[in-house]
Amino acid sequence: MSLIKGISYNFRGLGMGVKTPKLLLLGIIRIAVVILLTIVAAMLIYYYLQANIDDIWKKPESNWIIWLWYVVIFLLYMILVGISVVLAYLVAQIIFSVVIMDQMSRITEKMLTGQVDEPQSMPFWKQFFFLIKQEIPRAVLPILITLLLTIVGWVTPFGPIIAIITTGAAMIFLAWDNTDLIPARRMTPFAERFKLLTGALPFHLGFGLPFLIPVLNIVLLSFAPVGATLYYIEKNNPNRSNHA
């Protein structure tokens, strides 16, 4: 049931987000920033690869092996683009998206309870750096665990099984990136927040599963903070939620 509940909260958040002008605008801005940084990074990589391609492997004159040169250069470009996508996501997430996500969570919490609970108010610049400090372990730890699982899949005969586990872990961590917004804002210690994740793995897996749907996942990721905040409020403050 927790798995199904996770899926339902994801789509409930999407519905609430697109019906609320402020949330809709922030969701659009969030995905636009990620896409823009990814495009810029890919273009820079292509430019520098073309400028330094002779240093990597000078184009052969023989027609017999020139096809291999094209294949190698193409694969190298695809690998670098893949790396750029990950780096662009991290940069956007840590510097830009975490602020947008927090604002979406705050708006949702206020809509549900009438106020935003936090230990103390702080100037915007302090809040900005505080949010970044909270986001770094939340963004880096999942990537390290995912990479570790990927390496294990490469060096053991359990590759297909590890691939499924890795996908599930990625979905869980994407969900946690959103459900952790309120605890992080309330300055809950990281270790305690991580325990909240491990204690609700089926829910987070369900919340993250829709992210596997191509194209729709872009929209769902943009409004995931809404559904995650809705879940947290209804779970921990059921009597204060006035949202239908």
DSSP string for 44-56: HHHHHHHHTHHHH
In a domain, 7, yes or no: yes
pLDDT of amino acid 78: 75
pLDDT of amino acid 51: 72
In a domain, 25, yes or no: yes
Q: What is the pLDDT along the chain (244 residues), one digit of tens a residue?
A: 789 999 999 999 999 999 999 999 998 887 787 778 778 877 887 777 777 776 666 776 777 777 787 787 778 777 777 776 666 666 666 665 677 888 899 999 999 888 887 766 666 666 666 666 666 666 666 667 777 777 776 667 777 777 788 788 888 888 988 898 888 888 787 788 888 888 999 999 999 999 888 778 878 888 999 999 999 999 887 665 555 4
In a domain, 200, yes or no: yes
- What are φ and ψ of residue 108, in 5° steps? -65, -45
Whether this model's pTM surpasses 0.85:
no
In a domain, 59, yes or no: yes
In a domain, 242, yes or no: no
pLDDT of amino acid 12: 94
In a domain, 244, yes or no: no
In a domain, 71, yes or no: yes
Number of domains making up the chain = 1
- What are φ and ψ of residue 157, in 5° steps? -80, 5
Residue 119, judged by CB atoms within 10 A of its CB (0-12, 13-18, 19+), counts as exposed
> Could you tell me the residue range of the domain that residue 123 belongs to?
2-236
pLDDT of amino acid 233: 92
In a domain, 48, yes or no: yes
